[in-house]
A and B are shown apart, each in its own frame.
Chain A
Amino acid sequence: NAGVTQTPKFQVLKTGQSMTLQCAQDMNHEYMSWYRQDPGMGLRLIHYSVGAGITDQGEVPNGYNVSRSTTEDFPLRLLSAAPSQTSVYFCASSYLAARGELFFGEGSRLTVL
């Protein structure tokens, strides 16, 4: 059972470039989300989805887009990368009725030069 799989694990971008972080889960979870984790700031919610075709903004959505065309996949797109988006990004999923019991991927470390 793979759980939550994130790719790539590491990425270096130049300012202004775009890219997509991939997230896939094989647990049939309705809820999927993207967090970023920064020193001194903790985990901050970027976007989340409660099912295919449904997405919503979290705490820090600016500069990021998401879509949810299938239950399994929830990609995060950086439209025009900025140094402030240098961070570790985590995808997390859960059953909709779960009360905070999230399953996390291993993270994607992004550096924007």
Chain B
Amino acid sequence: QKEVEQDPGPLSVPEGAIVSLNCTYSNSAFQYFMWYRQYSRKGPELLMYTYSSGNKEDGRFTAQVDKSSKYISLFIRDSQPSDSATYLCAMSGSLNAGNNRKLIWGLGTSLAVNP
């Protein structure tokens, strides 16, 4: 079983739809949860960052963490064609000896928002 599972899609929605992207994980030590957005032929960029459980909102984006279920979600409201990209979840636990946290990545979900 992979440490992080993410449905690769593709997910295709009409403009204006609410999009829900999800990842499940198995390691209860994970404390830091991130969503990255990657446009075609570009590097990933950090979209949302959450520590521990709860919700975080930034404009049309909401990140949700449910540690009891080991489940994280990214919601996109009023989706736009410019949101078409691959969305990667990533997570990490406590510090290692090098004072750096190892990131575990999902494979990414491909999203297409159709005008």
Chain A residues within an 8 Å CB radius of B101? 99-100
Say yes or no: B107 contacts A42, CB within 8 Å. yes
Chain B interface size band reads 20 to 34
Chain B residues within an 8 Å CB radius of A74? none
Write the A19-45 contact mask toward B (1 if CB under 8 angstroms, else 0). 000000000000100000000111101
A78 CB to nearest B CB, Å: 20
Q: A43-B88, A101-B49 are in contact. Are A107 and B99 (CB under 8 A)?
A: no
Count of A interface residues, CB-CB < 8 Å = 24
Number of A-B contacts (CB under 8 A): 56
Q: Any chain B CB within 8 A of the CB of A106?
A: yes
The 8 closest A-B pairs by CB, nearest first: A104-B43, A42-B107, A99-B32, A43-B105, A100-B92, A50-B98, A100-B34, A104-B44
B interface, CB within 8 angstroms of A: 32, 34, 41-46, 49, 51, 88, 90-92, 98-103, 105-108
A interface, CB within 8 angstroms of B: 4, 31, 40-43, 45, 48, 50, 54, 56, 90, 92, 96-97, 99-107
